Amino acid sequence: DGGITQSPKYLFRKEGQNVTLSCEQNLNHDAMYWYRQDPGQGLRLIYYSQIVNDFQKGDIAEGYSVSREKKESFPLTVTSAQKNPTAFYLCATGWSLFHEQYFGPGTRLTVT
Amino acid sequence: EDKVVQSPLSLVVHEGDTVTLNCSYEVTNFRSLLWYKQEKKAPTFLFMLTSSGIEKKSGRLSSILDKKELSSILNITATQTGDSAIYLCASMNRDDKIIFGKGTRLHILP
């Protein structure tokens, strides 16, 4: 069935470790996005990609990295340089950057 | 600095009431305004508004954009407990930048 898959749902890591969050879609969408959400705040854009092998920094890209080697996949790596990595991470896709976005179920990352 | 501001931050009403949620924006090269409903963490898309003064409707929900006032409203009539959620407003500009407001938390009492 079609949709956006983010795994795992919950992720725990020790401080200082890099961690990669998965986002896979079979909607054939060109655009993909990563957001983080913190309590009491709206969604903030980390990175986005308009097409395979291309991606752009969002508002809070520091401490994160992404790749877009395949249309279906847009993994996000939270590096040890990210000062406050504990958050809820949402992946979204869209037909293009000018179309509405559809969100995955999210991954809650806890770093201790 | 570009920003999107939503009001009120939270709202509690009784089932059957009508509610109006507000969103104002200050965005360079504004293109569109989007509304989302967020429940159980992942937002679902409601409306995209690009033209001023044209109302978009979906069932009991409707929304309109006022480019002169740099604002949008989301109306929900005959509210139901299932409408309880966080409603997010976001702006999209011509440089493909998307900015979200902090959301309005709506709670419908039975």
Give the model's pLDDT for residue A30: 92
Cβ atoms within 10 Å of A94's Cβ, excluding its own: 19
A103 vs B31: CB contact, 8 Å cut-off? no
Q: What is the residue type of A67?
A: S
Give the model's pLDDT for residue B97: 67
**Has residue B73 got a pLDDT over 90?**
yes
Give the model's pLDDT for residue A42: 66
* Cβ neighbours of B45 in A, within 8 Å: 100-102
Give the model's pLDDT for residue B110: 94
Give the model's pLDDT for residue A88: 87
Side-chain half-sphere CA neighbours of B85 within 13 A: 21
**Has residue A53 got a pLDDT over 90?**
yes
**Which range in A50-64, B61-75, B90-104 is most confidently predicted, on average pLDDT?**
B61-75
Nearest chain B CA: its distance from A101 CA (Å): 7
CA–CA distance, A27 with A7 (Å, rounded to integer): 17
Rounded to an integer, the average pLDDT of B72-92 is 94
Give the model's pLDDT for residue A68: 97
Q: What pLDDT digit, counting tens, does each position of B12-39 carry?
A: 999 999 999 999 999 999 988 989 888 7
CA–CA distance, A66 with A47 (Å, rounded to integer): 7
**Has residue B94 got a pLDDT over 60?**
yes
**Phi, psi angles (nearest 5°) of residue B28:** -75, 135
Residue A37 region by backbone torsions, left for phi larger than 0, else alpha for psi between -120 and 50, else beta: beta
β-partners of residue A10 are A108
B101 vs A44: CB contact, 8 Å cut-off? no
Confidence of residue A2 (pLDDT cuts 50, 70, 90): low
Give the model's pLDDT for residue A61: 94
A101 vs B31: CB contact, 8 Å cut-off? no
Q: In this complex, which of B45, B88, B96 lies closest to A97 when CB atoms are compared? A: B96
* Cβ neighbours of A99 in B, within 8 Å: 48
